[in-house]
Structure 1
Amino acid sequence: MKQFFKFVLATVVGIIIASVIPLILIIGIIVAAGSDKEVDVDANSVLHVKFDYPINERTPNNPLANLGFLGLDGEKSIGLNDILSSIKKAKTDNNIKGIFLDESYMMSGQATTEEIRNALIDFKKSKKFIIAYSEIYTQGFYYLASVADKVYINPKGIIEFRGFSSEVTFLKGALDKLGIEAQIIKVGTYKSAVEPLVLTKMSDANRLQVTSYLGSMYDYFLTGISKARNINKDSLFNYANSGRIQQPEDALKYKLVDGLKYKDEILSELKQRTSIAEKKDIASVDLGEYVKSGTKVDTDPKDVSYKNRIAIVYASGEITGGDGDDNKIGSETISKALRKVRMDDKVKAVVLRVNSPGGSSLASDVIWREVMLTKKVKPIIVSMGDVAASGGYYIACAADSIIAEPNTITGSIGIFAVLPNMQKLFNDKLGITFDGVKTGKYADLGDVSRPLSPEERAILQNSVNRGYDDFTKAVAKGRGKTQAYVNSIGQGRVWTGSQALKIGLVDRLGNINDAVKCAAKKAGVKDYRIVAYPEQKSFLNKFGEGLSAEVKAHFVKAELGENYRYYEQIKGVTQMMRTPQARMPFDVVIK
């Protein structure tokens, strides 16, 4: 009887928990929704800007974000779209007297940082001030902060100014120990995405291309700081190369900063600039709150108040088949979005915002087809973000015009496939053997328990060759080049936006706003509303679909911290071993 009551009690407790937790979540959603009301900005306010979170293309549609609710809210994040619109809005907001760039880590790519930096430069045309302060200046944040009227560092702080480096993690040694052979089928001398699986260091070709594009990005980095701080570019190069900037005093001596100050001194200066008495608090508004003080860039597509619209279709993340989300390009999701804007008579032109290292070559081709069909109906302009390479370039190449940032990473025109041979792992390490019957010579093609035969390898190589031929034909057609020329600049080679402009892979350098203006001009419209696609799923929809993946990712990121990227790389290896890939050489990590 005692056991019976134990089971009953456990069942009741389980039912209560199962009922209460969803109720708590719903209450949290209601509270969060209530907190999303428009924010009033006090007179003489300072816009407080701090980037200590990953910057995605769009602000996630998550009402629990930033509330710390049950620890399951995911990462705090304001999308690039809202960051840019808020800075633009602050420029003409009479209640905003200036911007305070507080210590940040800039967990964003070079092109994203460039877009924000250009928005700040435009903000300065209002004659309002920008003050930057940090205890630790990473190179990314210093590049952003260099446009400020005053750049300050803590007297005991740290400033990183030593040049760029790019690092690749090689896994061959680990695979050898496990008894796994990565069988590679590829096209492209520079298609180095597979190198970490078969080499222990960079190939000469890969070293050449990384040296080239890294040098191009670094040159642009130094040029920007030189112009902002009025310091000779060669001098900046020498400061970094000789390790001359080691202490805050060095940064002051060589004019990288304007002063060494503690936080209280910065707050006093902000009070002086906004005519606030020393004993009173500064009137300030956080960027996350300021987003709520007016209209966002992303207008609801269901709003019918404007007959002329420019649609921005966001394609961000790895390219895969099926559905996607804010951080993954699903061929089905993007195809539906392109079909929708193509058939909407109110949409006069389309901007395809691409921020992707590529992925499935098949999924890339599916999206490319929709871009081609859209181009026949209305103008479509591509705006490239941090990365628009390999499959990311594939889906872009058919557009009427391609606009990239100078430090966008693009190109990487090539195809590869990876098939693991795990025979030694199974046989020698685990003692597992396999045997079976097949009705055809190639019935078990792709079996990972044995190596490929020469005939099987030839079949796969032909498939990859065909994929590369299709890729280069698509680029040649879209860019008005010969296939031979595309092949000469292809072969998997990576370029920066500046380099891509010179060789004809992009049409001009600029940001997403330039792309919108270009689209409007080609469509012949002056008054228009911007609408964003694909429509973001509501939190309730996500909740209904299950939050297990997001919850898991949240805890893994929290546990691994900066090392999360290695976890992502290992996941990427397993994904590459499924279908032919058109993707970048792993992830480019610049330090």
Structure 2
Amino acid sequence: MRLFGKILLAFLAVLGALALTGAVVAWKAVSSFGPSHPDVPDATVLVVDFTTPFRDGGHGNGGGLFPAQPTLRGVIDALDAAAEDDSIKAVIGRFGSDDRPMAQAQELRAAIARLRAAGKPTYAFADSLGDMGGSPATYYLASAFEKIWLQPSGMLGLNGFQAEVPFAHKALTDLGITAEFGQRWEYKNAMDSLIRDDMSAPQRASYDRLFQSWQMQVIETVAADRRIDKAKVNSLMQHPPMFAAEAKTAGLVDATGYWDELMTAVEDATGTRSHFRLDDYAASLPEPGEPHGTVIAVIEAQGNVHRGTSEVDGSGLYSSIGSDTTAEAIRNAIDDPKVKAIVLRINSPGGDYIAADGIWRELMRARDKRLPVIATLGDVAASGGYFIAMPARKIVAQPGTITGSIGVFAGKPVLTDLWAKLGIRWDTVQTSPNATLWSPNRPFTPAERQWFDRMLDSIYADFSGKAAANRGLTAAQMDQVARGRIWTGADAKAIGLVDELGDFSTAVRIARSEAGIADDADVSLVPYPAPPHGLEAVLQALLGSKLPGLFSSLSRLQAVLGPVLGLAEQVSTAIDPRGNTVLATGLPGVGTAPRH
């Protein structure tokens, strides 16, 4: 009857999901009355809200339960359209004290530069910038605009970059929790907070170099944009937040004034009182039609790397890198004769080693078939995120992209002393001494620890060896830049882990060149796989990776489901008239699988 119970629960889950889907579809239908493509006035000012976070990657607006968070690609596409649109007379960016990743700020800066090159006046406005902490990345982005306005009561903070890392080793030890973790090598610091009482010298050196590289990028760019000496910008970054008048005197802002005063000034300059929000402007743009001309496949790799199918969030966009989903997308692109190149967009801190290796293999197949693969790195492509970039013919990163971390860590918590404190005793039945290898109820034996270390050595050798081969470096050269260390994209280019600095459009340009596509040839950027929409998106958001297996199981059982439901009561009484149950469980290990 356990099987019948599972079938019944699955069936009820699908019914519930369908009911919720119906309600959502009805709500969307009602809420969508009215023009789906708002008309853009003949002369208007485009207003972009930079106080909201933008999600890296994603295509369109998603088709799930909830409105999609604005995507970086969607925002940039709209800004590029505005650059060519004669009806857009100026662009205003609205800023606050919200933080933004450096690489994303750099990609947006490139789009603002294209607006200015097209002759569009650009204005940045903030009520306050960085007054409550955070990195200088928000002002760094605002400085791409031609004119910066700051509210008179606001402040401008250029406080530099920092990281505060907690270390819980003593607290865990006091609770009776110890850790059996290992890493390769000294810069692979993901577990240091659990096994150390303070920051190691390698971890400090890694963070220090990362932040120094970012700071120099900010200093050099702000100095150039604001026509201020680099030494002065560096000096300003050593002080507390400046009041608005001080920021103007220092040359970091052009005017102090309120939002209405800026709007009046822009209206006078452009001759229009109309203003249009970016999300409305994006909705007014034509929907992509059927692919035409040469096809470049765009494969998104966003989030944690894991085995199985990629997860879909409530907006209908992929939010993780499932090895099965991603590998299938690569295979489909390889097998499609219309696809002449692949652009792989990566924004990932890493994840499961075996999953990343499976994706790596499919990309190597594309390489062997001479199908150009160009990787473009977003905010972060570290560890497993960098692993899947390695087979690319060219790797493109922003100067601020967190890159590398070629290494591995794994392990498990040990709760023996905690159970003793709580007065809980565990007994075990096992058929092999290794059956409880990953059990948190005991430490590794000496033999198990020896095997564990051998596993870490093997994974590190595989990762660094493939990296060396793919990047054309010797083993000694790779060991100097690997060992788990993170780098900025600028540093990664200098040491051979990245080929070119740039954004998504840079990767597309390189893909065209590598595939031999003429500059004036029509090219369609086609997502592989196509993002889920409608019912599929809703069900995937509700049921996650269980959806394909669930549908598969129900399909196989369709022929017998009716009779089983009809005879359920009789079968139940015949098998177990007293209602007794026998419980058999296979508890999953709680150890941390090898991650990089």
Alpha carbons 1:60, 1:77 under 8 Å: kept: no
- SS of the residue 1:579 aligns to: strand
Alpha carbons 2:299, 2:529 under 8 Å: kept: yes
Which runs of structure 2 are paired with 1:494-533 in the superposition (5 Å)?
Answer: 494-526=486-518, 527=521, 528-533=523-528
Equivalent residue, structure 1, for 2:593: 579
Alpha carbons 1:355, 1:388 under 8 Å: kept: yes
In 2: Cα distance, 1:264 partner to 1:441 partner: 74
Pairwise CA distance, 1:35: 5.9
Equivalent residue, structure 1, for 2:374: 381
Equivalent residue, structure 1, for 2:172: 175
Q: How far does the alpha carbon of each residue in 1:175-222 deviate from its partner, in whole angstroms, 9 at most, with x for none?
A: 224321121121111111111111232111110111011100110011
From the CA coordinates, give the structure whose radius of gyration is larger.
2
Which runs of structure 2 are paired with 1:44-123 in the superposition (5 Å)?
Answer: 44-59=43-58, 73=66, 77-105=69-97, 107-123=99-115
Alpha carbons 1:51, 1:105 under 8 Å: kept: no
Q: Which amino acid aligns with 1:537?
A: P
- 1:177/1:295 CA distance change after superposition, 3 Å: farther
In 2: Cα distance, 1:219 partner to 1:237 partner: 9
Equivalent residue, structure 2, for 1:269: 265
Query: What value does the CA root-mean-square deviation take over the aligned residues?
Result: 2.4
In 2: Cα distance, 1:444 partner to 1:20 partner: 43
In 1: Cα distance, 2:304 partner to 2:498 partner: 21
Alpha carbons 1:316, 1:355 under 8 Å: kept: yes
- SS of the residue 1:362 aligns to: helix
Q: Is 1:478 aligned to 2:470, yes or no?
A: yes
Q: Which amino acid aligns with 1:324?
A: S
Q: How far does the alpha carbon of each residue in 1:448-496 deviate from its partner, in whole angstroms, 9 at most, with x for none?
A: 1011112111111111111111101110110111122211211001111
Q: Which amino acid aligns with 2:304?
A: E
Alpha carbons 1:418, 1:576 under 8 Å: kept: no
In 2: Cα distance, 1:390 partner to 1:161 partner: 30
In 2: Cα distance, 1:210 partner to 1:508 partner: 23
Pairwise CA distance, 1:63: 6.6
In 2: Cα distance, 1:20 partner to 1:454 partner: 55
Superposition TM-score, scaled by structure 2 size: 0.83
Q: Is 1:340 aligned to 2:336, yes or no?
A: no
Q: Is 1:249 aligned to 2:233, yes or no?
A: no
Alpha carbons 1:63, 1:539 under 8 Å: kept: no
In 2: Cα distance, 1:20 partner to 1:321 partner: 30
- 1:216/1:342 CA distance change after superposition, 3 Å: same
- 1:451/1:29 CA distance change after superposition, 3 Å: same
In 1: Cα distance, 2:525 partner to 2:453 partner: 44
Q: Which amino acid aligns with 2:338?
A: K
Question: Structure 1 residue aligned with 2:283, among 275, 288, 292?
Answer: 292
Alpha carbons 1:134, 1:152 under 8 Å: kept: yes
In 2: Cα distance, 1:433 partner to 1:36 partner: 66
In 2: Cα distance, 1:63 partner to 1:105 partner: 28
Q: Percent identity at matched positions?
A: 32
Alpha carbons 2:305, 2:320 under 8 Å: kept: yes
- 1:284/1:59 CA distance change after superposition, 3 Å: farther
Q: How far does the alpha carbon of each residue in 1:53-80 deviate from its partner, in whole angstroms, 9 at most, with x for none?
A: 3311235766788xxxxxx736x52111
- SS of the residue 2:346 aligns to: strand
In 2: Cα distance, 1:497 partner to 1:99 partner: 29
Superposition TM-score, scaled by structure 1 size: 0.84
Q: Which amino acid aligns with 1:93?
A: D
Equivalent residue, structure 2, for 1:315: 301
Equivalent residue, structure 2, for 1:586: none
In 2: Cα distance, 1:22 partner to 1:496 partner: 43
In 2: Cα distance, 1:227 partner to 1:143 partner: 11
Q: How far does the alpha carbon of each residue in 1:258-298 deviate from its partner, in whole angstroms, 9 at most, with x for none?
A: 1110111111012112213xxxxx311111111122246xx
- SS of the residue 2:55 aligns to: coil
Equivalent residue, structure 1, for 2:416: 423
In 2: Cα distance, 1:27 partner to 1:540 partner: 12
Equivalent residue, structure 2, for 1:38: 37
In 2: Cα distance, 1:328 partner to 1:320 partner: 8
Pairwise CA distance, 1:32: 4.8
Q: Which amino acid aligns with 2:259?
A: K
Q: Is 1:234 aligned to 2:226, yes or no?
A: no
Which runs of structure 2 are paired with 1:134-149 in the superposition (5 Å)?
Answer: 134-138=126-130, 139-149=136-146
- 1:35/1:193 CA distance change after superposition, 3 Å: farther
Question: Structure 2 residue aligned with 1:349, among 341, 345, 355?
Answer: 341
Alpha carbons 2:468, 2:474 under 8 Å: kept: yes
Unaligned runs of 5+ in 1: 1-16, 66-71, 277-281, 551-573, 583-591
Unaligned runs of 5+ in 2: 1-15, 131-135, 312-317, 546-587
Q: Which amino acid aligns with 1:581?
A: R
Question: Structure 2 residue aligned with 1:371, among 357, 363, 367?
Answer: 363
